[in-house]
Amino acid sequence: MQSMYGEKRTTMIDHGALALPPERVIILDFGSQYTQLIARRVRELGVYAEIVPYFHPLDDITRERPSAIILSGGPSSLYEDGAPRITADIFDLGVPVLGICYGLYVIVDAFKGTSQPAHSKEYGRATITIAGDSPLFRGLDAHQTVWMSHGDKVSAPPAGFAVLASSDNAETAAIGNDERRIYGVQFHPEVHHTVNGTQVLKNFLFEICGLRATWSMKSFIDSSIEAIRAEVKDGTVLLGLSGGVDSSVTAVLLQKAIGDRLYPVFVNNGVLRKNEAAQVIERFEKHLRLNLIYVDASKRFLKLLKGVENPEKKRKIIGREFINVFKEEARKIGSFDFLAQGTLYPDVIESVSTKGPSDTIKSHHNRVPEVLKLIKSGKVIEPLKELFKDEVRRLGQELGMPDELLFRHPFPGPGLAIRVIGEVTEKRLDVLREADDIFIEEIIRAGLYREIWQAFAVFLPVRSVGVMGDKRTYENVIALRAVTSVDAMTADWASIPDEVLKRVSNRIINEVRGVNRVVYDVSSKPPSTIEWE
Ligand code: XMP
């Protein structure tokens, strides 16, 4: 697998349009599933944090002058062949270090302590007993509930390090060298099952490193605007706007920075939801005062989709045509200096843990070859690329954008084309749009919209028999899909109350011509997917 790290991170961290906050934490990623959580927790505490792979060159770290370094956990044991290791010189930078789980063993190894595979592994909740008076555990009671996951144990802490805590399974659950400000913990302070984990992180950042909580969305906006201006100068920026959260927030941020030198292009691909094009135009032109370039290419897309039933073919046709339309519009505008994208942090960071499902399932649609070429030549601006989705929503709120836009359910690029099963026709799209609109309206009315990750209707190209009045009908089926999820990697079907489903079904059958049956999809992901195609 090709690593984004390998491509872009050979020298300095590529910050693109982002000014470096003066105080920041570098997290060296050893592949833990919790690495991103560490970054989030640190930022929630008001300190900017970013993740780099464990093999990020020492020279670069030296140049970047971090205020603190955190060594993440990882799936490996130090005793496995090829276990990730770092140069011990990192500890000579004079920067405070906190090693978490695997990070603890990295410290023990570097300072010539000893560790070994443990007889009994420790996973899940555990109680540690704190010894002594380390600043790392300041303000905490002697017994603490923590979250462990380790198969090794420290048998002898390195010289100069005190044992700061122990658990039933690990005599050494935390070590520290106050003078050098280097600490290691066996447990995961970033996980909420570690009851006082936040306090441990606070102690490290504020007591030990002496940082101040100055990072906030407001400061992010100010520094981003400044950085965008410095980069774009009096140039122009082209942006593909879908009306979704990420591209919309990017548009508003860029507009604040460079005003009408931003060219947001919104392409109607003919497979948008009911009234969607009109809503996006109204929202962006009237309320957010953007000079939207609206391209109605629906006829082109629908013509290409004619007769196509295969889901992958539909996706490819739409993806390819979108690039064609976008390029044509760019040519019409004339030359532009930069391309902007609403890329988020999880889109660019590939965890070193290549076993995670995210690596195989997630396709980096903002990293197609043409875009990569532009990135190499410094022509791409991605102001959100250090942020998580919930941070982007908060950023949008800070920018004064309406919640109704910021909390919209995700909508796939291929749109309704992958929700009309089989061939996509105007008639089927119309039926689906009406049914989908009723479903969403009722979900909003029932106050369920926010707790549901995604809800939508699917048009099934099968007909079933029904009876309406005294007449026999033979019409199409609409499937309703609603799921709960945290990241779309896994999902459960949502338990929508009976009376809501009843109302939706009644309304669809009575109000949408061509539908006489409504079914509810009760499949989880995996093994199903959220979309049907
Ligand atoms: P699946 O169906 O794979 O979907 O469980 C996971 C999430 O991704 C969305 N999705 C897409 N988003 N382009 C997108 O921008 C696509 O081609 C695409 N396919 C699926 C889907 O709606 C869900 O949120």
Please report, for residues 223, 345, 436, 456, the alpha-carbon distance to residue 352 in angstroms, rounded to integers and kept in the order given.
29, 14, 40, 34
Residue 13 counted as domain residue: no
The CATH code of the domain that includes 446 is: 3.30.300.10
Domain that holds residue 343: 217-406
- Check pLDDT > 70 for residue 10: no
Q: Are 338 and 234 in contact (CB under 8 A)?
A: no
| 347 and 235 in a common domain | yes
Q: Using 50, 70 and 90 to split pLDDT, how confident is the model at 488?
A: confident
| 125 shares a domain with 83 | yes
Establish if 111 belongs to a structural domain.
yes
- Rounding to the nearest 10 degrees, give the CA dihedral for residues 274, 280, 283, 288: 170
Least confident of 94-98, 286-290, 511-515: 286-290
CATH code, domain carrying 135:
3.40.50.880
For ligand 1, whether the C-beta of 529 sits within 6 Å is yes
Average pLDDT of the segment spanning 495-504: 98
User: Could you say which of 406, 440, 461 is where a domain stops?
Assistant: 406
Residues 291-302 pLDDT 10s? 899 999 999 999
Of 188, 208, 228, the residue at which a domain comes to its end is 208
Nearest to 30 by CA among 7, 5, 47: 5
How high is the pLDDT of residue 249? 97
What percentage of the chain carries pLDDT values higher than 70? 92
- Could you give the C-alpha distances from 152 to 41, 155, 162, 171, 244, in angstroms and in order? 26, 9, 19, 12, 45
Torsion of CA 375, 378, 380, 386, to 10 degrees: 80
Q: Model confidence over 19-39: pLDDT tens digits?
A: 566 799 999 999 888 888 899
Mean pLDDT for 312-318 is 93
32/125 same-domain check: yes
- Write the pLDDT tens digit of every residue in 399-412: 999 998 999 999 99
Is 422 in contact with 309 (CB distance < 8 Å)?
A: yes
Provide the domain count of the chain: 3
Verify that 193 and 227 share a domain, yes or no.
no
| Residue 388 confidence (pLDDT) | 82
What pLDDT does 299 receive? 97
Average predicted confidence (pLDDT) for the chain: 89
- Residue 506 is assigned to a structural domain of this protein: yes
* 381 and 251 together in one domain: yes
Same domain assignment for residues 274 and 314: yes
Whether the per-residue pLDDT at 17 is higher than 70: the answer is no
Residue-wise pLDDT tens digits, 77-131: 888 888 899 989 999 999 999 999 999 999 999 999 999 887 767 778 899 999 9
Neighbouring C-beta atoms of residue 141, cutoff 10 Å: 9
Partner residues linked to 368 by β-bridges: none
CB of 525 within 6 A of ligand 1: the answer is: yes
What is the rounded distance in angstroms from the CA atom of residue 438 to the CA atom of residue 365? 31
How close is the Cα of 531 to the center of ligand 1, in Å? 7
Ligand 1: residue whose CA is nearest its atom 12 = 412
Examine the domain organization and report whether 158 and 251 are in the same domain: no
Residue 459 counted as domain residue = yes
Q: How far is the CA of 415 from the centre of ligand 1 (A)?
A: 9
Alpha helix locations (H) across 128-190?
none
Catalytic hit among 101, 231, 382, 434: 101
In ligand 1, the atom with minimum distance to the C-alpha of 315 is 17
Tokens of 172: 């050494």
85 lines ligand 1 (CB under 6 A): no
* β 293-296/454-468 pair status: unpaired
pLDDT one-digit tens code per residue, 434-457: 999 999 999 999 999 999 999 999
Residue 411, in any domain of the structure: no
Note if 190 is an active site residue. yes
> Which secondary-structure segment (H or E) carries 151?
strand 143-156
Annotated active-site residue 101? The verdict is: yes
Read off the pTM. 0.77
Q: Is 191 helix (H, G, I), strand (E, B) or coil?
A: coil
Residue 236 and residue 350 in one domain: yes
Of 190, 276, 434, 442, the catalytic one is 190
pLDDT at 376 over 80: no
How far apart are the C-alpha atoms of 176 and 180, rounded to whole Å?
Answer: 9
Does residue 164 contact residue 186 with C-beta atoms inside 8 Å? no
Other CB atoms within 10 A of residue 169 CB: 16
* Residue 2 resides in a domain: no
Percent of the chain with pLDDT over 90: 70
Q: Both 241 and 297 in a single domain? A: yes
Domain endpoint, select from 173, 208, 243:
208
